[in-house]
Amino acid sequence: MPELRAQPRLLVVHDDGAIVHDVEATLPGWWVGAVDHGDLAIAEASYFDAVLVDLEREPADGWFVLARLAPHVDVVAVGPRRHTARAMRLGAIAVVGSIGALGDALDASLVA
């Protein structure tokens, strides 16, 4: 009998509905939730398989969310290449330059 696997869940920390819609379109097999504040992300993260943060978004400081959550849940960061080394040191599983690259990063985390 095949193993039943729950649908993976991604928490997006962003207040722009268009970004959340883009994430949903990019990850058709994922259940996507969204919060607009870093404190909410920290409170809700345990219910998700991964968290997506924007390293250049205000007021929800993606760096703060990344540093707080990375030891506990897979965090993927969206940001420019210049932030990659720092984000990986803080525990990001991947840093992507665009939402379009998100699928590959999350697929790799599920296999690992």
Give the distance, in angstroms, between the CA of residue 71 and the centroid of all CA atoms in the same chain.
Answer: 14
Q: What is the pTM of this model?
A: 0.88
Query: How much of the chain is in helix, strand and coil states, percent to nearest 5?
Result: 45, 20, 35
pLDDT at res. 3: 53
Could you give the CA distance from residue 88 to residue 62 in angstroms, rounded to a whole number? Answer: 13
Residues in the chain: 112
- Is residue 60 scored above 70 in pLDDT? no
Say which range, 7-11, 23-27, 55-59, has the weakest mean pLDDT. 55-59
- Catalogue all structural domains in the chain, each as residue range(s) with its CATH number: 9-111 (3.40.50.2300)
The number of beta carbons lying within 10 Å of the beta carbon of residue 95 is 23
What residue ranges in the chain does DSSP mark as E strands?
9-13, 31-35, 50-54, 74-78, 94-96
Chain-centroid distance of CA 5 in Å reads 20
Collect all residues with Cβ–Cβ distance below 8 Å to 96 and sequence separation of at least 6: 76, 77, 78, 102, 105
Predicted confidence band at 2 (pLDDT cuts at 50, 70, 90)?
low
